[in-house]
Amino acid sequence: MKRLGGIALAFALGWLVAMLTAGTPYAGDIKRVVGPGTLVQLQTPWGVRSAFAPFWESWQLVDAIFFDRARIDHGKMIQGAIDGMLATLDDKYTFYQEPDKAAQTTDDMAGKTGGIGIFLRFADGRAYVWKLIPDGPASKSGILQNDEILQVDDQIVATLIADKSVDDAATALSARIRGKKGTSITLIVQTSGTPARTVTLQRDDIILPSVEWERLSGDIAYFHISEFKRNTPDVLAEGMREFSRTPIKAMILDLRRTPGGLLDSAQRVLGFFYDGTALWEERQAGSLIELTTTPPDSDISRVTVPLYILVDERSASASEVVAGALRDRYPGTLLIGTQTFGKGIVQNIYPLSNGGTIRLTMSQWLTPNKLHIHGTGLTPDITVNDDPAARADAPCVADRMPKAGETLCRDPQLTTVLGLISALR
């Protein structure tokens, strides 16, 4: 028995020495033999070290034995492990973002990024300019809406986005296009039916629009918030100041197709209308925490005119916080449209050491009157469906465009609100 044990030990030691010689597939790299788990396990919290043992054992087996070395990607293995862990929570709002995507999300939510001022769309493995930001570098350089982007610097776009989902393709291409203000970028683009052309331009700081406003006939202030970014309240304040110069008789807040955004941005937006409870937050222990509105700058007076809020099935999260709070706390508020999405939970974003982030659900929220909306949404006071057969008799607001030869748009929800305001006079 001793002899067998000695043979086994000698064999094991011989195997390890052989693995560390340059003539082996492992080229002397001990990490490729034992895997990082042997060292990293020392950093695993003691209370769960035994539970993690099968994970590290699996990592070590793959890393040391799997025959096709080219298919081993440690980054993907780690991301897959994190994704799998979070998937067990059965919460689609809790997820991991890899570093490039996390950086882009941070820029987007700040409302400002270094780039050339375009939005992308993808179809059939190709990338196109969806929209241009006015006065951005791309717009000034002659790049047009629907131009195909063939190449970014030395990177062929078709190769970059091949076999990627739309989201992953957008992340990969955006990472190439974005950059610090003042740096150069060269694109090869093509307008349909014309030869491809090369465009070299300088990146600039791009303000990502999230608020649009205009004065409609009858002294009606119209605001559309597309997302609650960090700078959304500041941009909204500009519109409020503009309308303060000439009195308005009513206000329309359009939150249709508004997926949400930052909770503190929603609290600041609510501060333009009233002082008090913005929402209640319910955490693990079930206790309610009151979150209040944030007052605007001293030079801005709070809104006092009748308020109408447009909502639809894509009004979610922070837009539901605002719509629900205003109905509960701003007298006479009316919600017009269709049932909202129903996202009544809150996520926080936690940075990781590799530059990635985890977005983790930390609580659920209730309206000031303590109404739960998660999974059900807000029911409008007046339900108006977006009837495709409706007449085009409304002003064209936000990104709506009239049909050729017409000046008005089909927007039955806005038409209903304008009728309600007209009846008050």
Alpha carbon 195 to its chain's center: 35
Spatial CA neighbour of 189 closest among 180, 181, 177: 177
User: How many Cα atoms within 13 Å fall on the side-chain side of residue 323?
Assistant: 39
Spatial CA neighbour of 228 closest among 394, 86, 111: 111
The answer to whether the CB of 226 falls within 8 A of the CB of 213 is no
User: How many C-beta neighbours within 10 Å does residue 259 have?
Assistant: 15
The answer to whether the CB of 420 falls within 8 A of the CB of 334 is yes
The answer to whether the CB of 49 falls within 8 A of the CB of 77 is no
Pairing mode, if any, of strands 288-292 and 277-282? antiparallel
> What is the phi/psi pair of residue 188, to 5°?
-110, 120
Q: Has 343 been annotated as catalytic?
A: yes
Residue in 174, 315, 317, 319 annotated catalytic: 317
Pairing mode, if any, of strands 197-202 and 184-190? antiparallel
User: How many C-beta neighbours within 10 Å does residue 324 have?
Assistant: 27
Tokens 């974003």, residue located: 349
Q: How far apart are CA 286 and CA 357, in angstroms?
A: 26
Residue in 63, 147, 328, 411 annotated catalytic: 328
The answer to whether the CB of 350 falls within 8 A of the CB of 358 is yes
Spatial CA neighbour of 253 closest among 276, 273, 234: 273
Q: Has 315 been annotated as catalytic?
A: no
Q: Has 58 been annotated as catalytic?
A: no
Residue in 343, 353, 399, 411 annotated catalytic: 343
The total number of residues written for the chain in this structure = 425
Q: Which helix (H) or strand (E) holds 195?
A: none
Q: How far apart are CA 112 and CA 177, in angstroms?
A: 14
Is 179 buried (19+), middle (13-18) or exposed (0-12) by CB count in 10 A?
middle
Q: How far apart are CA 107 and CA 98, in angstroms?
A: 14
Which amino acids are annotated catalytic?
A: 317, 328, 343
